[in-house]
Every structure is written in C-alpha cells, then in structure tokens.
Amino acid sequence: MTPVGGGLSWQSYNEETPSPDDSDTLSANGLLDVNIGSDEGFLRNGKVPFRTVMSVCHAMHVFINGQLSGNIYGGLDNPRLTYSGNVKLRAGSNKISLLSVAVGLPNVGLYFETWNTGVLGPVTLSGLNEGTRDLTIQRWSYKVGLKGESLSLHTLSGGSSVEWVEGSILAQKQPLTWYKATFDAHEGNNPLALGMGSMGKGQVWVNGEGVGRHWPGYIAKGHYGECNYAGMYTDKKCQTNCGSLLKDVFEEWGGDPTGISLVRRETARVCADIVDDQPTLKNWRMAGSGKSDNMNPKAHLWCPNGQKISKIQFASYGVPQGTCGNFLEGTCHAHKSYDSFEKNCIGEQSCSVNVVPEVF
C-alpha cells in the first residue's frame, strides 16, 4: 500500500439525542425524563445510582442527559442483553435515552413476525431514597432512525442541510458523529483503500455510495487472527463527480478521523494455487450429462491494466507449502515447474497454464 497525498481535512456533525418535543418522536418507548429530588441521598453521600436495562436487541447505547453512559453488545450464543451500570444523575430533570441497534431483522422461519427485537424491559433505577424505581411503566417516547439518516448526510446534497464544524472544534472520540472530507481522485486505475484503525465502529460512503463498514474497535473472542472488514470494490461506485471525491463516515462508538489514511494498492505479485484434480463448473456439467470429460484445470495469472508479468518468483508442481508470497517447495517437486510459466507468462498481462503431469 502506498500513501496518497497528505492528510484529509475533516468536518464533523454530532447526532443529537431526540426530544419528546420533536415532531417525529412518538410516545411509547425509547427516551424518558426522570425527575430527581434535591433531597436524594446519593447527591450528598457520593453513592452513584445503578441502572439495569433488559433488551433483546443486538446492541444498545445508553445516554444520560445527552452524554454516552455505556453500551453493550450481544452475540449468537446469547442475543439477550442485560445492561447494568452506574449512572450520574443531577437534581431535577434527567433525560435517559436508549439507542437500540438491530443488525438485520428476521424475515424467514416459523412465526418470525412474532420475534422480539429491541428494548423490552424492565428498566430499573436503584440506589434512590425509595429503593428501586421501575421506569418501565413511566411515559416514554421513541424515534426510529437517526437524524443524519433522514437528512441523507452521506450524500452530496444532504450534506449541505446541516452546519458542520472543523479545525480545533472538530469532534473526536465522540459517539454518533458524522464526518466528511473531500479529496482529489488519484491518477491511474489502481484501487484505493482506507485505513480506519483510528476509528471504532461505523460505516463509510464515497460520493453517496456505501463502500463498507468498519469495526476495528472490537476484537472477537478466541484466536481468529487478523480480521478484514473491507467492502467489495467496483468501479460503479465512482461514476459521478470522480474528479473530486466526497468521503463520509458515520462513527457509532467514537474515534479520531485525523488518523484515517488513504492509500493506493499497487499489485506487486499475483499467485495461483491449483490442484490437478480440482473440479470446475464445466467438469460437473459434463459429468452429470454422462459425456466424456477432457477438461483440465488451469492456473490463471492476471495483472491490472498497465502492468505485465516480469518474473516468475516461484513455481512448484508437487506439494508446495505456504501462502502467496511465502511459498516453499515440499517433499515432492517437479524440476520443470518454471518452464511453462516463463514461456507463456513473462511479458504478458495475463496467462494460463494447464496443470497436468505432462506439462511439468
């Protein structure tokens, strides 16, 4: 990967927690005003109240008076969530907001329409003079989606509907924040990649087209090695305004956008790993029809436009070990393994070689 240009100049916009007075906020469940009397003991003795929320959503973020108080994520083994944690309240009115996150909803299976997803309760607050207060039965309000979604902040037109901040007041390490930056398209046809290691969890758009999600802030349990959350690249994702590209990021957890890097992928080597009895789609079709099968597996090598194969660094017909860029000869190796590749591939953008014993 080769860095492209300098650092990006970012602007930010913070999502606001909804208010019961918003026109698109409905009365039911979602956020709540909790009144705390000035005579509450915890305001004097320093013992912080404790909040518990029962939910069956995939993830949940808890906000108190507009500030993130905590979050929790579920898993396949146990999708039910129980959030428990201390909460800093003040005398008077306090606003509790619960953001329920569902990574897809059920659309198949028996009675899938009856499956519950979201905050079901109970929601309780303990450590008060009265003991434990059940907030479930109080009046709640709810709102579906985020303001940035409804305004389409990830598009060229929607991004102009709000006031963005930049420079020294750029939001950093704040959850539910939108970021945008403009950069010039690079020369050549090599694809670009985004280094999102400084961010937490969210989604990325370029010119209004979603290019993938990022989640470097979470490490899966167990040993799975390095994870790659990169999305599929296609040239159709850049069909308009490609001279000046608009990059938008929605950050759910909180991150530092100044650490996002833009790099260009330059292909240095290509590899093929083929076995001589590897079936192809045509093999299966011919076998199913009962006709004779004379097709042989092939090793195909291909370089991006403007590049050609200049050297065969490794070739082994036998039992090689390793992975692309780190292959080693195994206990069985045909000494003519290089010949056919050097003859057919050197100086070409693409080539193919039959993988059969008589070639090697």
CA distances for 5 relative to 2, 19, 231, 264, angstroms: 10, 42, 22, 10
CA-nearest of 219, 189, 153 to 16 is 153
For the chain, the domains span 2-13+147-264, 19-142, 281-359
pLDDT tens, position by position, 127-186 = 998 899 888 888 788 788 888 988 999 998 898 899 999 988 898 888 899 999 988 777
Given this model, what pLDDT does residue 240 score?
45
Regarding the domain with residue range 2-13+147-264, which homologous superfamily does it belong to in the CATH classification? Galactose-binding domain-like (2.60.120.260)
Is pLDDT of 224 > 70? no
Whole-model pTM over 0.85: no
pLDDT tens, position by position, 239-288 = 444 556 777 899 988 899 999 888 877 777 888 888 766 666 565 555 55
Per CATH, domain 19-142 is 3.40.640.10: no
Is pLDDT of 10 > 60? yes
Q: Which two tokens stand for residue 138?
A: 């109080």
Architecture of domain 281-359: Sandwich (2.60)
pLDDT tens, position by position, 181-208 = 988 777 766 777 888 889 988 999 988 9
Asked if domains 2-13+147-264 and 19-142 share a fold, the reply is yes
